[in-house]
Each structure stands twice: as C-alpha cells, then as structure tokens.
Amino acid sequence: MNGLFVMRKIMAIRWEAGVLVLAALGSGCSDAQGEFDDFVKRSATIKGDDGGKDVAVDAGDCPKVTQQDVANGYYFTLSAVIVPKKPFVVLGTVTVDEKANTVSFHFQPLSKDDKSTPVGSPIVGGPFPIADDGSFEADFGSISMDGAANPISGSELATTLVLKGEAGGWCGSSEFICGTVEGIVSKPLKDLNLKGSTFTMQKLTSAGSYPTPIINCAGDTP
C-alpha cells in the first residue's frame, strides 16, 4: 500500500477524533489536518512516483513562498530521538527574502509545562536557501536553550542544530513544514547524537492560539 496513502488515512482518523474534542471545547486552533493534507499533496506531486529520487520540478508544483505567506508565524515542534514523545515547542517567526528565495528564523522557546509561555533567549538563524522543490537545510551552529523549555530533563540544553526540511515545505502558503534534525548535544548529556530526531512547523492562524503538537512528517502526535 502506498506510504502517503497510509499516512493520510492515519491522519484522517486522528483528525476525526480531534474534531469532536475541539467542537466540545469551542477551540479556535488552526486546521492541522488541512495543513498536513496540503503538504502530503505537494510532496507527492514534487517527488512523483519514483520514491523521491531526482526529478524535474515544475514551478507550478512549488510556487515561491512570500513574506505574506509566513506573516502569522509558526508553532515549531522538535522531537528528540532520545524521548520522541516529549517534544520541545517553540514560537517561530519566519522572514522570507523573496528575491533571493531564502528563509530566516527567530525561534522563541516556550515553557515545557504550558507549551505557550516564552522562556529564555531566542534562537536565530539564516538566511538559508530554499530549493526549487521547497526543501531546505538550516545549520544553526551551536545553540542553547533554557531548562524551562526542556521537557526531557528540565536542564539547560546546549547542542549543534541542523534542520533538513522535506520537499513541499516552503511552497506557496507553506502551512505545514517538516523534516529531520541533526546535531550533537554537549549539555546536559555529552556527545548525544540527535540523528533520527524530527521537527515540524505548523502555521498559526491567530496570535496565542496554538495547535496540538505534531512531531514528524507522518503526522504523529505526542
């Protein structure tokens, strides 16, 4: 069975359950299912039927992202391979250079407890090139994060950080971006390899209204 089809079926089941909860609570959270579906469609179109091997990318498959597309900001989730179900959450501000087709980030870590209160200093990086297929690689070098944002140990985090975004991410409205994480942690654990970790970015619809975290490109939740 096609992997993308399976992903979409899983997300559909989760979304139906989530809709019932949101309806009961009267929540105003963003349309996570629609965002994920749009990403899957873009990714499938760009990668084609060859499993994601080298293919020509038509500009219509991945229209360039604009600053207006990203103006609302993003809910960034990082799922560390060591404890994937306890994700770091960050409020992301994105800046797009439309002429150069690059993206820059201002990431404000959020509290591990309520996942909404800003804690510690922001993490900034960029500009990073956006590929024709909407993928990107963002090498932040060495970064640190306040322990109040660390859901795993509650201790200050120091690590190198590289985000590798999947094809279909920075295309047009860019409502859902995801990919893999690489880096070597030096604090609180020394020489921990982050290979196998994942990240997602969900576009916000309104200030202070955050969606349920999604921890990977498969649409899994904590």
Residues 37-93: tens digit of each pLDDT: 665 665 555 555 444 444 445 557 899 999 999 999 999 999 999 999 999 999 999
pLDDT of amino acid 43:
56
Q: Which uninterrupted H or E stretch holds 125?
A: strand 123-129
Longest Cα separation, the chain:
46
pLDDT confidence tier of residue 207, bands split at 50, 70 and 90:
confident
CB atoms within 10 A of CB 155: 14
pTM of the model: 0.77
pLDDT at position 25 over 50: no
Whose CA is closest to 149, among 107, 184, 118?
Answer: 118
What's the CA gap between 105 and 89, in Å, rounded? 14
> Looking at residue 206, what is its pLDDT?
86
